[in-house]
Structure 1
Amino acid sequence: MSAVVEIVVPVFALILCGWGFARGGLLPPGGARAVGVFVFNLAIPALLFRAMARGLPPFGESGGLLAAYYGGVALIYLTAELLGRRLFRIGAAERAVMGMSAGFSNVAVIGLPLVALAYGHDGLIPAVLIIACHSPTLITTTTILVEAATGRGEGGLRVALATFGSLLRNPIVVGVLAGIVWGGVGLGIPGPLQRFLDLLAGAAPPAALFALGASLVEFRIRGALRESLLVVALKLVALPLLVWILAAFVFDVRPLWTAVAVLSAALPTGANAFLLAQRYDVYVQRSATIVLVSTVASIVTLSLLLTLVPPP
């Protein structure tokens, strides 16, 4: 239990610090946004680049991991779609954002610090592989479904290409792809560049957690609470259970990578689900509720998970 406390408490204490600073007015106007810009445009891309530049595992290993993780995500997405249609009688665009809210984990901000503390550098490789496919898979799929449901007349292929193009300009995706290319070519990292990357990578987890906490001040519990709580249950309980079954019994993923995949699946809903909802003005209040409630509830669920599957 002490190991769980040492891993979980510092992570959520930093989130609480960010929330307290923003709530108490200790951050200047735009301060939280400025920290977030540094984190997502420089610090996290440097961390991901450094991890990928050290070389990728064989495709067989990474393929099984991604099949297990995104197989679970696909099943949860479809479950949310079905529940939204049959139980809550909501429209197709709302169902798409509901599915994303149930399947999109906050791996970049909360996941990386937790994985690093629990499993060390070896655990970062599967976490980065999951991140590499996270936004391209879920944001692209949800955008196409929302566009089709709202009848904007853009055409599925055009929307997919536009969304994929914007993702390729995403600094996090660029960091992953640049690291893969660098490592694939076999280039070493010179000493000064290595130390520069180490400084940025070291700053990424605490700054990201602080920025997340500060941003949570803007979220409120509103809208259909029963529906939002069901999505939170899908996200924090059903998704990690499905990923564990697929990784351990179907795709035979190695134990460490299975643990990282399950931990990633058990993370709270990432803010990108809310941002996409806000962009299309669809499912906005419920998405905000899901992000906030899942983040708070994950303190308990992640602690239980790490107790049941303790890190080495």
Structure 2
Amino acid sequence: MGAIFEALAPVFLLIAMGYAIRRYRWIDDAFWPPAERLTYRVLFPALLIASTARANLASDQVWAIAGALFVATLVVAGAALALKPVLGLRNASFTSFFQGAIRPNTYVGMVPAFLFWGDEGLAMLSIGVLAVVPLVNLLSVTVLVIWGDGHEGARTPMKAVREVVRNPLVVACLIGFGLNALDIGLPPVIAPLLDILGRAALPIALMAVGAGLDFPDLLANRWLAGKATVLKLLVLPALAWGLATAFGLDGQAFQVVMLYATLPMSASSYVLAREMGGDAPLAAGMITASTVAAMITMTLWIVLSS
């Protein structure tokens, strides 16, 4: 229990620090967008390439981790769609609810994965990235195309496919696993360079998550945000637990599945909602609700799975 708290506490302290920095304007607001782009396009890809290229993973673990997370996410997506007639939401609001139920913030999982298990833990988490990120992007864009208040130039599912193929995190995972499978490894100069860049990703990404928290939007949408958070942080992890057990996972691999399954809603959901006619304030409230709630639920799920 103590080791789990020691690994998760820095994650949430960095998120709180990011919120405080933006709340009290210690850094100009113009800092955050380029910092997020740098993390997304350079720093986190470097971290993923370095960790996946070095990892020693059994093939049966790879497929079991990917399968448990993929199927659990797909089932929750189906449940969210089934709830649409019951919720009584306008279409644009439903698209944000849908994103809140399935889209994980991978950044929040990388720090505890690295602190718990080092490069091997990050490599296992990368399997989740490859299994879930393309799926949730395609599903979210499709739902927004159908029910969002679209406008000219809004993205389509085919455009989403192209974006997934070019997603820096997905590309980095594929490069790292490719180097691993071919037993090439990382060159002497490149390896330390990637390590330095990767270490910079962890604090910047988490503080950016905190800087994006929006409590007024959470209060305005608290009941709906709560329902989406239950699906994301309780139902999805419970399904992942059952599937991981059925697939024979245990130990570290099982814990990685649970860590990834209980990640809060991705901050990119707000951007997608704003671009494609979703309910952006509702998405902002849901991101805040799930991030705050994850401080409790992530800890509980990891304790139970250990």
User: Structures share a fold, TM > 0.5?
Assistant: yes
Tell me the alpha carbon deviations over residues 184-231 of structure 1, each in whole angstroms, 9 at most, x when there is no partner: 333231211111011011111112112221222587315442222111
| RMSD between superposed Cα atoms in Å | 2.4
Whether contact under 8 Å (2:236, 2:261) holds in the other structure is yes
Over residues 154-200 of structure 1, what are the superposed CA-to-partner deviations in whole Å (9 max), with x where a residue is unaligned?
A: 9xxx9333211122222222212222333333323121111101101
* The one of 112, 116, 131 aligned to 2:129: 131
Task: Tell me, in whole angstroms, the C-alpha distance in 2 between the residues paired with 1:116 and 1:295.
Answer: 19
| Greater Cα shift, 278-287 or 265-274 | 278-287
Which has the higher mean CA deviation after the structures are superposed, 183-192 or 75-84?
Answer: 183-192
Kindly indicate whether the alpha-carbon contact (under 8 Å) linking 1:225 and 1:286 is maintained by their aligned counterparts in 2. no
Query: Is this contact kept in 2: 1:69–1:261, CA < 8 A?
Result: yes
Give the structure 1 partner of residue 226 of structure 2: 229
- On the 8 A contact 1:132/1:176 being kept in 2, the answer is yes
Q: 1:231 to 1:237 in 2, by over 3 A?
A: same
Work out whether residues 18 and 206 of structure 2, in 8 Å CA contact, stay in contact via their aligned partners in 1: yes
Instruction: Return the alpha-carbon distance in structure 2 between the equivalents of residues 91 and 60 of structure 1.
Output: 43
AA in 1 matched with 2:224: E
Deviation at 1:53, TM superposition (A): 2.0
- 1:18 and 2:18 equivalent? yes
Matched, 1:33 2:33: yes
- Match in the other structure for 2:102: 103
Matched, 1:296 2:295: no
Tell whether the 8 Å contact from 1:81 to 1:96 is kept in structure 2 after alignment.
Answer: no
TM-superposed deviation, 1:281: 2.4
Identical positions, percent: 25
Residue 270 of structure 2 corresponds to residue 270 of structure 1: no
Rounded to whole Å, the distance in 1 between the matches of 2:233 and 2:38 is 29
| Conserved 8 A contact 2:55-2:119 | no
Instruction: Give ranges in structure 2 of 5+ residues lacking alignment.
Output: none
TM-score in terms of structure 2 length? 0.90
**Aligned: 1:238 with 2:235:** yes
1:208 to 2:205 alignment: yes
- d(CA) in 2 for partners of 1:101, 1:187: 39
State the one-letter code of the partner of 2:169: I
Residue 93 of structure 1: CA displacement?
Answer: 5.4
Where does residue 303 of structure 2 map in the other structure? 307
CA contact (8 A) 1:93 1:145 kept: no
SS of the residue corresponding to residue 270 of structure 1 reads coil
Please tell me the residue identity of whatever aligns with 2:52: M
Q: Deviation per CA, 1:248-271: give whole Å up to 9, x if none.
A: 1x2222432121111111111111
Q: Which moved more, 1:200-209 or 1:48-57?
A: 48-57
Please give the alpha-carbon distance, in whole angstroms, between the structure 2 residues aligned to 1:166 and 1:56.
29
| 1: CA distance, partners of 2:300 / 2:160 | 37
Structure 1 residue matching 2:213: 3-state secondary structure? helix
2:249 alignment partner, SS class: coil
Q: 1:219 to 1:121 in 2, by over 3 A?
A: farther
SS of the residue corresponding to residue 212 of structure 2 reads helix
Q: Secondary structure at the match of 2:181?
A: helix
Paired residue type of 1:148: I
Q: Which residue of 2 aligns with 1:171?
A: 168
Query: Which stretches in structure 1 are left out of the alignment for 5+ residues?
Result: none
Normalised to the residue count of structure 1, the TM-score between the two structures is 0.89
The change in CA–CA distance for 1:48 and 1:81 in structure 2 (over 3 A counts) is same
Q: Distance in 2 between matches of 1:84 and 1:97?
A: 12
Aligned residues: 304
Moved over 4 A (4+): 91-94, 150-154
Which stretch has the larger CA shift, 236-245 or 283-292?
283-292
Letter in 1 for 2:125: A
- The aligned counterpart of 1:261 is 257
Query: Partners in 1 of 2:146 and 2:172 — Cα distance?
Result: 31
